[in-house]
Amino acid sequence: MEIVRAAGLKKYYVTDTYEVRALDGVTLCVEEGEFLAVVGTSGSGKTTLLNLLGGLEEPTAGGVWIRRNSLKDMTREERTVFRRRNIGFVFQQFNLVPMLDVYENIVLPLRLDGEEPDETFLEELVTALGIKEKLGQMPQTLSGGQQQRAAIARALVTKPAILLADEPTGSLDSVTGMEVMGLLRTCADRFHQTVILVTHQEAAAQMADRILRMSDGKLSGGEKV
C-alpha cells in the first residue's frame, strides 16, 4: 500500500541575480514497509527532498501526501503536529538534548504531544538497538554510535508512518556507520517501518530495498537491491 507520494515536486531559490533549482520536478511513490535509499553527491538536492517530504520546508510547486494527507493543505501548526505524530527524523548530527538522559531524550516527542510511552515497545526498541543499559546516562557520556542509536530510538518511539534519515552515518567512522546502518535495517524489518534514507555512501544505500539516484535536483534509477 502506498504510504508516501510526491508529485511534481520543485524547490527553487531565486534572487535578483540567480536561480537555484534545488529540486526540479520530482515524482516518487513509497510503499508501506519499504526501505528506500536516495543516493547523490553534496548539492544534488537529496536533503532538500527529505525536508520537503518531512514538511520542514514548503515546495515551490508540487505536493507531498503521507497516508493520503496533503502537507501543503495544512497550516504551519497543523503540519507541526502531523509531523510529530507521523514522521520520525534521524539526522547526521544526533541532536540529543544534553540536559536530558537517554530515556528522557527518547520519549521527548511523546511527552511534547502529551502522550506516555508504550514501555513494552520502548524496551523492545532499545534492546534491538543495544542501548537498554544506557537509558540513565547523559548523551555526552555515550560514543557517537550510541548517540545515533538513541536518536534512532527517539525517531521510532512514536511508531511513525515514515522514518526519514539524512546521512545518518555521516558523523561516524566507517565501521560504526555500517553497524548503525545494520541496526536501522534490522529495526525496519522488525517493526515493519517505512524508511527513506538519503546518503552519498554507496555501501549504506545497499542496505535498502530500492535505490534512486539524484543529480541536479532530479531523480533517476529505481533499481532493486
pTM of the shown model: 0.91
Could you give all domains of the chain from N- to C-terminal order, each with its CATH number? Answer: 2-224 (3.40.50.300)
CB atoms within 10 A of CB 63: 15
- With residue 175 as reference, give the H or E element that holds it: helix 174-190
Question: For each of the chain's 225 residues, which pLDDT tens digit applies?
Answer: 899 999 999 999 888 788 889 999 999 999 999 999 999 998 899 999 999 999 999 999 999 999 999 999 999 999 999 998 899 999 888 889 999 999 999 999 999 888 999 999 999 999 989 999 999 999 999 999 999 999 999 999 999 999 999 988 888 888 888 888 888 898 889 889 999 999 998 888 999 999 999 999 999 876 665
Q: Cα(200)–Cα(177) distance, rounded to whole angstroms?
A: 13
Residue pair 160/88 in contact (Cβ under 8 Å)? The answer is yes
- With residue 207 as reference, give the H or E element that holds it: none
Please name the residues in contact with 116: beta carbons below 8 A apart, sequence gap of 6 or more.
Answer: 110
Q: What is the structure's pLDDT at 225?
A: 59
Helix crossing, 144-156 with 174-190: angle to 10°? 20
Q: What is the structure's pLDDT at 91?
A: 87
Q: Cα(93)–Cα(189) distance, rounded to whole angstroms?
A: 24
Grid coordinates 540529543 are at which residue?
Answer: 96
Q: What is the structure's pLDDT at 194?
A: 94
| Amino acid type, 190 | R
Average pLDDT, the chain: 91
Residue pair 94/151 in contact (Cβ under 8 Å)? The answer is yes
CB atoms within 10 A of CB 50: 21
Burial of 205 (0-12, 13-18, 19+ CB in 10 A): buried
Q: Quick one: residue 217, left, alpha or beta (phi over 0 = left, psi -120 to 50 = alpha)?
A: left
Residue 63, helix vs strand vs coil: strand
